[in-house]
Amino acid sequence: MTARERYAVRAMAVLAAGYGNGPRPLPSVAADEGIPFGYLEHIAQRLRRSGLVRSTRGAFGGYELARSPEDITVADVLRAIGEGVIPADCGAAGNCYYHDRLDECVTRPIWQDIQSQVEESLSRVTLATVAKRIEANSGTERVRGDGSS
């Protein structure tokens, strides 16, 4: 996974853990998760454009999930970031980095199968599941929504 993908999943998990508590200020998510704020801002814009989060301006503004955490999967988050579930040349359609003719590549079907299996698995993991793991491992102090941890 790329850093962008990891950051997106972590930020969305924090929002999922605080679901129903109102918008969470992006600077507090960045600080709590150790994500560079500018980088997270860019990620949040992609997530908003994809309809996974909504933003509210003002003193009590921030970001929150647009749907229930049970209705958003890790695969949804990765797709929203635009890198696909597995950005593998061999598994994806198009040109292979190593071969000019994909129909001659003996390993391409294997990579395509792996990509499909991983995508299927990530499509079954909801943000609710990820949020429960966060809460089990660290308590609720990271998800109060006010930035004070």
Mean pLDDT by 10 residues, the chain (149 residues): 91 94 96 94 97 94 97 95 64 57 71 86 95 76 45
**Residues 47-88: pLDDT tens digits?**
999 999 999 999 889 999 999 999 999 999 999 998 666 555
- Domain count of the chain? 1
Could you give the residue ranges of the DSSP H alpha helices within the chain?
3-17, 26-33, 37-49, 74-81, 108-122, 127-138
Answer yes or no: is 105 within a domain.
no
147's tokens: 């930035």
CA distance 30 to 107: 40
Answer yes or no: is 109 within a domain.
no
Q: What is the pLDDT of residue 111?
A: 78
Answer yes or no: is 29 within a domain.
yes
Answer yes or no: is 102 within a domain.
no
Expressed as residue numbers, the domain containing 20 is 3-85+126-143
